Amino acid sequence: MLSIHTRIARRQLLRHTTHRLLSRRDFTIAIDGPAASGKSSTARAVAQELGFGYIDSGSIYRCATLLALRQNITDMGEGSASLADLISHAKVDIKVRPSTSHQTPSLGRLAVPEVQVLLDGEDVSREIRTPEVNRLVAKIASDSGIRQAVLHIQRKLAADAESRSTTSRSADANDMPGGVVMDGRDIGTTIFPGAELKIYLDASAMARAIRRWDEMNQMKDVTAQKPAHDPKASVAPAAVYPSVEEIARELETRDYADINRENSPLRIAPDAVVIDNTNLTFAQQVYTITDLARERMGLEPKHSDC
């Protein structure tokens, strides 16, 4: 026999859960734009600010490219079907580690959460960002079979991330819907054409190349500071880091391929808000987006002063 207190507590819990399920509205933010325009760092910070899930769609194409390199499939005519089969049977996981400003890279006032990409359980976060993958990824991503396979993975990951964002929400955040932020090239045009907020993020070619160069140099410094795991291991050969001009050429080549491919090319969705961040601080671009999202969710903007 349950005590009166237990029954009241149960009834309250049931009412609370029902209210949450009934008031649950999903909100999707699509962020598209050319290479190194700040999509993924911005999307991660926006997701953290709003308590939403985050999906880096480029990392799925990068996983497909890594599989292609490992299996020696570089001819998209013959290899397309087997690569599409490989990626659609692989398990891609994107794990976001919430940041505190002293643990992760921070851009001004904001800390950017770290993302770990797992391919069949293996941490490939670094391997999918090598120059070999950079050179091949746009070619792999232009294939319709691969895009179809990746589309299913994207939608599945988004549904999982969104439901996690809703169920992990605290009781006092009931007025906020659950949601997901996804960045890529065709999120607002093809993957989520009904997204509640679409952003096209851009910056000048030179600003993008300099930022990528800075980022590579910071990573180089961090790697140099890390103690070797095995003191007997021989010193790894020094990596050759590209110049700003080389990076600019690589970004231009990739953008050209992404804009000019037949399947789901990079385009500005007609209902997207275009943000050129060449002269914006990171906080300005993040808060512009979170305030737009809050407004569309019927909430008060928070940062209209920045």
Ligand X SMILES: Nc1ncnc2c1ncn2[C@@H]1O[C@H](COP(=O)(O)OP(=O)(O)OP(=O)(O)O)[C@@H](O)[C@H]1O
With a CB cutoff of 8 Å and minimum separation 6, the contacts of 16 are 171
Instruction: Check: CB of residue 175 under 8 Å from CB of residue 299.
Output: yes
With a CB cutoff of 8 Å and minimum separation 6, the contacts of 78 are none
Q: Which of 53, 79, 145, 184 binds ligand L45E5XJ5 (CB under 6 A)?
A: 184
Q: What, of ligand L45E5XJ5, ligand X, none, does residue 185 touch, CB below 5 to 8 Å by kind?
A: ligand L45E5XJ5
Determine if 210 is a binding residue for ligand X (CB under 6 A).
no
What residues numbered 72-131 form the site for ligand L45E5XJ5, per CB under 6 A?
none
Going from the C-alpha of 303 to that of each of 20, 29, 177, 180, 197, the distances in angstroms are 27, 18, 19, 21, 18
Q: Which amino acid is at 257?
A: A
What residues numbered 81-110 form the site for ligand X, per CB under 6 A?
107
Determine if 33 is a binding residue for ligand L45E5XJ5 (CB under 6 A).
no
Determine if 34 is a binding residue for ligand L45E5XJ5 (CB under 6 A).
no
What residues numbered 138-157 form the site for ligand L45E5XJ5, per CB under 6 A?
138, 141
Binding window for ligand L45E5XJ5 (CB under 6 A); candidates: 133-141, 164-172, 219-227, 274-282: 133-141
Q: What, of ligand X, ligand L45E5XJ5, none, does residue 61 touch, CB below 5 to 8 Å by kind?
A: ligand L45E5XJ5
Binding window for ligand X (CB under 6 A); candidates: 39-47, 71-79, 146-154, 187-195: 39-47
| In the chain, beta strands by DSSP E | 26-32, 53-56, 92-97, 106-107, 110-111, 114-119, 122-123, 178-184, 197-202, 273-276
Residues that bind ligand X (CB under 6 A): 33, 35-41, 58, 107, 211-212, 215, 277, 280-282, 285
